[in-house]
Amino acid sequence: AFFPMTAKKVLRAQRIALVNRLPLIYLVDSAGVFLPLQDEVFPDEDDFGRIFRNNAVLSGVGIPQYAAIMGNCVAGGAYLPVLCDKIVMTEGSALYLAGPALVKAAIGQEVDAEELGGAKTHTSKSSVADGAFDNDMEALFEVRRLIDMLPLNNREKPPVRPYFDSNSRVEESLDTLIPDNANSPYDMHELVRKLADEGDFFEIQKDFAKNILTGFIRLEGSTVGVVANQPMVLAGCLDIDSSRKAARFVRFCDAFEIPILTLVDVPGFLPGTTQEYGGVIKHGAKLLFAYGEATVPKVTVITRKAYGGAYDVMASKHLRGYFN
């Protein structure tokens, strides 16, 4: 739980990171504020609430922040990881503003911690978390793997690592990846992995909006962000969730000077009242805006089809795509 000195230690770490432009990693397992001392934890502008303001300042000057939720993360403290760039959770952890007891007392709804704010909920339904892992060790390993692909801040270039993939490698299986029948799906994961150095694809939000893939690969040792329609799910249509997911990812890549490769096989936007009432036009425009304002190199490969407005949205030449 947070005591007055707990907040001061976090604030000091944030100040050091800001001055030295260092990434911050938050490993979270907290009951929130220690309630008997809450008046001392929230006394003025230089205590607990200032942590969130610093989250925003660090983000604004291009310093990445990562959070691994490895236990409880409740109430006001839940804002800390959500203000970070990337969040992972371990199985059995929980993230929510109001816990099961408070939910029952306030509105009479009975729900357990896992269903309310567990790793599966936040990776597959709410999209709050970017990935879920079985235990702390696996989560820490994957956080290290992610950070190894990314720059220290937006003034640095992403690291270039040694690679062991031949430049002349030929993937003959790609000649038959796309079925002869235009209505038959294929797995876009296969294409992404066969493009990547050593077949390594760090996928972001793989359990949410599965009709679009987002993540990082390396090409000749350099980090590249990948956005790809997935014909295996909803025929690769764009919808509200996939548009939000891809837009956030594109903006992250643009903020940290990571080139974007877009693999397109999109029949259009998902039609229907559910999508229209949910504001699919507004959310689709977020992806348009993200690609349109991105200044990093953008390469687009249309693997089979790109129709209508969805063609425009998926990093078309009209949105300053460098190569199509």
List beta partners, residue 298. Answer: 260
- Phi and psi for 198 in degrees, rounded to 5? 55, 20
Cα radius of gyration (the chain): 21
- pLDDT classification of 76: cutoffs 50, 70, 90: confident
Residue pointed to by tokens 């911050």 = 24
Q: Exposed, middle or buried: residue 58 (CB in 10 Å: 0-12, 13-18, 19+)?
A: buried
Window from 33-42, 136-145, 274-283 with minimum mean pLDDT: 33-42
Distance CA 150, CA 86 (A): 12
Per-residue pLDDT at 151 exceeds 80: yes
What pLDDT does 79 receive?
87
Q: Which residues contact 102 (CB under 8 A, 6 or more apart)?
A: none
Half-sphere CA count of 97, side-chain side, radius 13 A: 4
pLDDT for residue 139 is more than 90? yes
Number of H helices, E strands in the chain: 13, 10
Per DSSP, the three-state class of 7 is helix
Smallest CA-to-CA distance from 264 within 307, 224, 233 is with: 307
pLDDT for position 39: 79
**pLDDT at 66 > cutoff 80:** yes
Q: Is pLDDT at 127 greater than 80 in this prediction?
A: yes
Is the pLDDT at 118 greater than 90? The verdict is yes
Residue 134 has pLDDT above 80, yes or no: yes
Q: What is the pLDDT of residue 33?
A: 81
Q: What is the 3-state secondary structure (H, E, C) of 52-120?
A: HHHHHHHHHCCCCEEEEEEEEEEHHHHHHHHCCCEEEEECCCEEECCCHHHHHHHHCCCCCHHHHHEHH
Confidence of residue 179 (pLDDT cuts 50, 70, 90): very high
191-236 pLDDT per residue, tens:
999 999 999 999 999 999 999 999 999 999 999 999 999 999 999 9
Task: pLDDT band for 98, please (50, 70, 90 cuts).
Answer: confident
CB atoms within 10 A of CB 150: 23
More confident residue, 179 or 99: 179
CA 190 distance to own-chain centroid: 21
* Per-chain mean pLDDT for the chain: 93
Mean pLDDT confidence for 157-170: 90
**CA neighbor of 288 nearest in space, from 262, 313, 252, 317:** 313
